Structure 1
């Protein structure tokens, strides 16, 4: 069995994280103009002046049964 000191190296790091990507309550929410889904924290796209969620813009990763 290896000692923790051999397996892990701990050090301080810096991260460049947008405020929208931080954990916690969304900073901003908009509504998709196609399906009315709420889209949080700048994850929407604007196409021809309409706000769209990812599923409406490029297609969903799932299919309804």
Structure 2
């Protein structure tokens, strides 16, 4: 029998975290400052669509910042209803 969404949420709330997750110490190498968690480090705007690009996630085309959706394509498509 499959558990319902409500049963699963209840189980997750009642299960101690150490039974749900494995916690391990890791060393991260080569992380740029802008990739670190926390407040926004840098931002710019896409030269194609104008969308704000946070924390060095842009690529450059012709020396101008471009968001990844404009540069390589988006994972979604806007549709008219």
State the TM-score, normalizing by the size of structure 2.
Answer: 0.60
Say which of 49, 56, 60 aligns to 2:70.
56
- Give the count of matched residue pairs: 58
State the TM-score, normalizing by the size of structure 1.
Answer: 0.73
Say which of 59, 73, 80 aligns to 1:45.
59
Gaps of 5+ in 1: none
Say which of 21, 24, 35 aligns to 2:35.
21
Gaps of 5+ in 2: 1-17
Q: Please state which structure has a larger fraction of its residues in helix.
A: 2
Higher relative CO (CA 8 A, sep ≥ 6), structure 1 or 2? 1
